[in-house]
Amino acid sequence: MRSIRRQNMTEASKDLLVAIMIFAVVGTAAVASSNPQFCVRRYVNGRWISKGNCQSYTTINDAIAKKMRAEKAEIVKPTDSTPIRNEGPYHVVSKNYPNHTIGIHSSGLPYIIERGSDTFYIVRPGLTGEAGTVSLESSSLRGRNLRHKSGLMYLEPPDGSGSYRSDATFYLREDHFFKGYFVLESTNQKEHFIRHQYGRIKLSRGDGSDLFRNDSSYMLKN
């Protein structure tokens, strides 16, 4: 009796080994629920190709295949706290000098210059991750962002500090002073806006004058 049991266990082990080998080769396998015959299935180009008695089965790997399809089809959407380069690059055009844009002077500093090749990516949200904010990254000096420091604007790479991220993050307020134009207000110095003055790009507190409103108003153009 013991020898018969051992023989039956050996045969069962062989059957199990065959099943494992089939699973390893084809990637997926299923066992027929109403018939002990194996159903072998391949997942090829987004659909199943079956061999054997597959009309009624319990699929071992269906859940995995479903997950694979979902992961392949999933579109990862950025959250408000994930800065991405998603707009541009654009010319940032001055309202009162429509042939001039924010650009890079020969000194390497941001100036308002005659429209040339200098453009910026609009990064939303800004580097602080706050919803509704933007940062401006140079398209020619990648990784360098407009940031304010001691009332002046600079084009600098991140230094890993929170102060840098705050200095390089702004509220873009559309139609703020003039319809069709936006202003860039500092997130860490309220009521301070990016403006040009004597050619230099600065961060200044609004003084209510027509000159200031014009100097701080811009539009984006390709």
Per the listing, tokens 């380069």 go with 85
Return the pLDDT at 195: 98
pLDDT, greater one: 3 or 176: 176
38-52, 63-77, 87-101, range with greatest mean pLDDT: 87-101
Domains and CATH numbers, the chain: 2-73 (no CATH), 84-221 (2.80.10.50)
- pLDDT, residue 115, reads 87
Q: What mean pLDDT, rounded, does the chain reach?
A: 78
State mean pLDDT over 42-50. Answer: 59
pLDDT reading at 31 higher than 50: no
Does residue 58 have a pLDDT over 50? no
Backbone angles phi, psi at 145, to 5 degrees: -120, 150
pLDDT in tens, 91-144: 999 999 999 999 999 888 999 999 888 999 999 999 999 999 999 999 999 999
Which range is most confident: 4-13, 15-24, 134-143?
134-143
Q: What burial letters (b/e) apply to 129-146, b meaning 16+ CB within 10 Å?
A: eeeebbbbbbbeeeebbb
CA–chain centroid gap for 182, Å, is: 24
**Residue 170 pLDDT > 90:** yes
Judge whether residue 6 has pLDDT over 80. no
Average pLDDT over residues 169-178: 97
More confident residue, 30 or 54: 54
pLDDT of residue 117: 86
Structure pTM? 0.62
Summarize the confidence of residues 42-62 as an average pLDDT. 55
